[in-house]
Amino acid sequence: MNRHHRRSVRLRGYDYSRAGAYFVTVCTGNREFLFGNIHSGKMVVNDAGKMAELCWQKIPEHYPDVAVDIYVVMPNHVHGILVIKNQTDVGANNYSPLRNPPARKQPCGTSRP
């Protein structure tokens, strides 16, 4: 299978667990319009888009050293700024999302409609 591989935009050698503000983009699979549509030049979020907003807002509940800043939900992606307040040890030797997920106080949404 021929897959397009994007060039990494990460700064080589930079420790992204360092405190600071990070611009993040999260895209839907296959760039599918799951979060809503543009009508008359404005984004109109659907239930899945509202769920994406809620999940973004609840990030600090799951990761206390992370604050959320401005964000925007688009039809097939979310842009936002995350602020890491304190350096946190992460990675294969420390925190692995697959091995030790943070305890979820309550789900931020439901399954895809």
Chain centroid to Cα 43, Å, comes to 19
19-77 confidence digits (pLDDT tens) = 999 999 999 999 999 999 999 999 999 999 999 999 999 999 999 999 999 999 999 99
Kindly report the backbone phi and psi dihedral angles of residue 52, in degrees, each rounded to the nearest multiple of 5, phi listed first: -60, -40
Residue with token string 């995350």: 82
The number of C-alpha atoms within 13 Å of 12 and in the hemisphere containing its C-beta is: 1
| pLDDT band, residue 102 (cuts 50/70/90) | low
d(CA 77, CA 25): 7
pTM equals 0.70
Question: Are the C-beta atoms of residues 49 and 35 closer than 8 Å to each other?
Answer: yes
